Amino acid sequence: MRPVPVRPAIAGQVEQIANRGSADPRLLRRWLDQVDGRGGCAHPDGAVRLVRTALRTFGAELERHAAGRCSGGPAGVLPVPSGSRR
């Protein structure tokens, strides 16, 4: 089995989530761990933090989505969980 190019794979998983496709959050988190702290600049670490925050903030919605019970609006916007700070 060939190794997966991690950064494009992360982008592909996030794109699948954005396009209401199926994604594997466990696999995505594993890939995020592989990238975190490995960049020559802060950009990869910032991207990892962004995706981790989205997974944490919208985790319950992503689980509903995977089960076919999305509660997103007609424009595909994820609802902000109650109690979230802006």
Tell me the per-residue pLDDT of 22-69, one tens digit each, with 9 for 90 and over.
778 888 889 899 888 887 888 888 989 999 998 888 888 777 776 767
Cα–Cα distance measured from residue 47 to residue 71, given in angstroms and rounded to the nearest whole number:
26
Q: For position 13, what pLDDT does the model report?
A: 87
Highest mean pLDDT, choosing among 14-18, 20-24, 67-71, 76-80? 14-18
**Phi/psi zone of residue 68: left (φ > 0), alpha (ψ -120 to 50 degrees), beta?**
left
Cα–Cα distance measured from residue 42 to residue 14, given in angstroms and rounded to the nearest whole number:
20
Q: Global pTM?
A: 0.68
Q: For position 59, what pLDDT does the model report?
A: 82
**Phi/psi zone of residue 38: left (φ > 0), alpha (ψ -120 to 50 degrees), beta?**
alpha
Q: For position 50, what pLDDT does the model report?
A: 92
